[in-house]
C-alpha cells in the first residue's frame, strides 16, 4: 500500500509540474514547451509545444528568439507517399481562432540551429521569446527532456547540418 501511495504522489507531482509549465499572453496559451536532448555532435535540435487560441480572431506565431542559439526557425516536416520526409522553413505558424495547434516531431516544430559543441542535456532549460502577430511577445522556457520511443517522429535532427 505504501508503494501505491508513493506512485500516486509521484504521478500527481509530475502532472502538476507539467501543467505549471504553461504560459499565456492575451488569448494565446502555450503549453509545455520542450526540446529533446541531443547528441554531443548535433548541430540542430527541435522544439515542441501546444498553442491554444481562445479568441474569435486568428493569430500567427511569427518568430522564436533565443539569445544563446545562433539561428532559430519555424519548420514543417512532411512525408510524401514514398516515405521521404522533407523539412521546409515556415514564415509563421497560423493559430486559427478557437483552435489548438501542436508542434511535434514529424510536423510543425521550432528548429534550433548552430548547437555546435553545445548539445541539449536533460534538465537544461532554453529561455526564448515567442513573437505573435496579434498577441505580442511572450517569454517562455523550453525544458530539455529525454526522448522516449513515442517521441520519435519521421525526422531525426541529430545529423542535420546548418543551412548557410
What is the rounded distance in angstroms from the CA atom of residue 27 to the CA atom of residue 87? Answer: 29
pLDDT score, position 20: 58
Strand partners, 23: 30
CA distance 47 to 31: 12
pLDDT value, residue 150: 60
The CB density around residue 62, as the number of other CB atoms within 10 Å, is 16
List of the chain residues with pLDDT < 70 = 1-20, 149-164
3-state DSSP of 44-95: EEEEEEEEEECCCCCEEEEEEECCCCCEEEEEEEEECCCCCEEEEEECCEEE
Find out whether 122 and 143 touch, Cβ atoms under 8 Å. no
- 3-class SS at 13? helix
Domain residue limits, the chain: 23-151
Predicted local distance difference test score (pLDDT) of residue 116: 87
Please give the pLDDT value at position 161. 47
Helices vs. strands in the chain: H and E counts, helices first: 1, 11
Q: What are phi and psi of 3, to 5 degrees?
A: -65, -35
What grid cell was written down for 58?
486568428
Instruction: Give the global pTM.
Output: 0.79
Question: Rounded to whole angstroms, how far apart are CA atoms 77 and 64?
Answer: 18
The confidence score (pLDDT) of residue 1 equals 53
Q: What is the pLDDT of residue 18?
A: 44
- Nearest CA-CA partner of 33 in 156, 141, 152: 141
For 91-130, how does the pLDDT look when each residue is reduced to its tens digit (9 = 90+)?
Answer: 999 999 999 999 999 999 999 999 988 999 999 999 999 9
Superfamily of domain 23-151: PCu(A)C copper chaperone (2.60.40.1890)
- How confident is the model at residue 117, as a pLDDT? 82
Amino acid at each position: 500500500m505504501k508503494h501505491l501511495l508513493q506512485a500516486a504522489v509521484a504521478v500527481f507531482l509530475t502532472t502538476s509540474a507539467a501543467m505549471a509549465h504553461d504560459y499565456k499572453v492575451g488569448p494565446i496559451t502555450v503549453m509545455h514547451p520542450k526540446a529533446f536532448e541531443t547528441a554531443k555532435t548535433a548541430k540542430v535540435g527541435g522544439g515542441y509545444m501546444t498553442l491554444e487560441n481562445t479568441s474569435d480572431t486568428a493569430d500567427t506565431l511569427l518568430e522564436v528568439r533565443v539569445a544563446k542559439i545562433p539561428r532559430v526557425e519555424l519548420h514543417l516536416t512532411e512525408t510524401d507517399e514514398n516515405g521521404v520526409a522533407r523539412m521546409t522553413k515556415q514564415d509563421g505558424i497560423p493559430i486559427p481562432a478557437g483552435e489548438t495547434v501542436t508542434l511535434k516531431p514529424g510536423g510543425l516544430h521550432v528548429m534550433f540551429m548552430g548547437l555546435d559543441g553545445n548539445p541539449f542535456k536533460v534538465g537544461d532549460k532554453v529561455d526564448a521569446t515567442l513573437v505573435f502577430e496579434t498577441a505580442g511577445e511572450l517569454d517562455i522556457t523550453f525544458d530539455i527532456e529525454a526522448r522516449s520511443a513515442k517521441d520519435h517522429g519521421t525526422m531525426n535532427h541529430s545529423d542535420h547540418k546548418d543551412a548557410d
